[in-house]
């Protein structure tokens, strides 16, 4: 059992693993052997961080069978942002393994996540030209296949959203859009918004002056 355990200590065990942060409380039961390690866990994490993304409070339950980390649930909440995920990830977490903390290359991931967000801070964290995206944002995403060729499927919708970027002077406001991700190809079905000064007397006549359609291959 553990309480307020700093997750930074995991990097002493797995030096090249994803950056983790926060204080964890819960329990961990370990069994099996060094070559095929088994465990199950229940944990809650305050101020959780994954890579560069701040998740807020996170709760998770799962188990490991020597081949797959099976996440029964992982739910994070940060103000108005909520992310729920579950599935199986082929991590090598066997204590004797030389590849501890890495993916099994010959096994497939099967993981799904859904999010209801008021912001997309996980994008602005990685894209320097993007200040922020805020609004009503819904995301469904599934990951499958081997780690070397993960297949992504899902959908994203934006309603009454705003995008602030250093690439243009005025923010893009009143954004509504939908994108469907099918086998790593994101089809932008519709995207419209206004990048004009709202104090312009002609605002109502020239709003929705940005429209985007197309496809992005990931």
Residue reference for tokens 């002493």: 12
Q: Are 48 and 80 in contact (CB under 8 A)?
A: no
Q: Where are the beta strands (DSSP E) in 147-171?
A: 151-165
Q: What are phi and psi of 9, to 5 degrees?
A: -65, -20
Residue 198 scores a pLDDT above 90: no
pLDDT for 79: 87
Least confident of 6-15, 76-85, 201-210: 201-210
Give 74-124 pLDDT, tens digit per residue: 999 998 899 999 999 999 999 899 888 889 988 999 999 999 999 988 887
pTM, two decimals, is 0.85
In this prediction, residue 169 has a pLDDT band, given cuts at 50, 70 and 90, of confident
pLDDT computed for residue 186 by the predictor: 95
Distance between CA 22 and CA 166 in Å, rounded?
31
Q: Averaged over 50-66, what is the pLDDT?
A: 93
Q: In this structure, are residues 129 and 167 in contact, taking their beta carbons and an 8 Å threshold?
A: yes
The average pLDDT across 56-82 equals 95
Q: Among candidates 102, 111, 93, which has minimal Cα distance to 152?
A: 111
């Amino acid at each position: 059992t553990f309480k307020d355990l700093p997750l930074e200590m995991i990097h002493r065990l797995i030096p090249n693993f994803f950056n983790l942060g926060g204080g964890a409380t819960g329990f961990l039961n370990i069994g099996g052997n060094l070559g095929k390690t088994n465990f199950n866990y229940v944990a809650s994490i305050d101020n959780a961080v994954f890579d560069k993304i701040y998740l807020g409070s996170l709760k998770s339950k799962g188990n490991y069978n020597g081949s797959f980390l099976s996440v029964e649930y992982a739910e994070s909440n940060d103000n108005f942002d909520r992310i729920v995920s579950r599935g199986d990830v082929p991590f090598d977490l066997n204590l004797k393994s030389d590849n501890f903390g890495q993916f099994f290359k010959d096994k497939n991931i099967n993981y799904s996540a859904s999010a209801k967000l008021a912001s997309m801070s996980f994008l602005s964290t990685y894209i320097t030209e993007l200040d922020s995206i805020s609004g009503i944002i819904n995301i469904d995403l599934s990951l499958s296949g081997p780690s070397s060729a993960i297949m992504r499927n899902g959908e994203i919708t934006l309603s009454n959203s705003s995008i602030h970027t250093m690439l243009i002077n005025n923010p893009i406001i009143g954004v509504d859009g939908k994108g469907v991700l099918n086998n790593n190809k994101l089809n932008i079905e519709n995207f419209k918004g206004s990048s004009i000064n709202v104090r312009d007397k002609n605002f109502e006549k020239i709003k929705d002056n940005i429209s985007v359609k197309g496809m992005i291959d990931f």
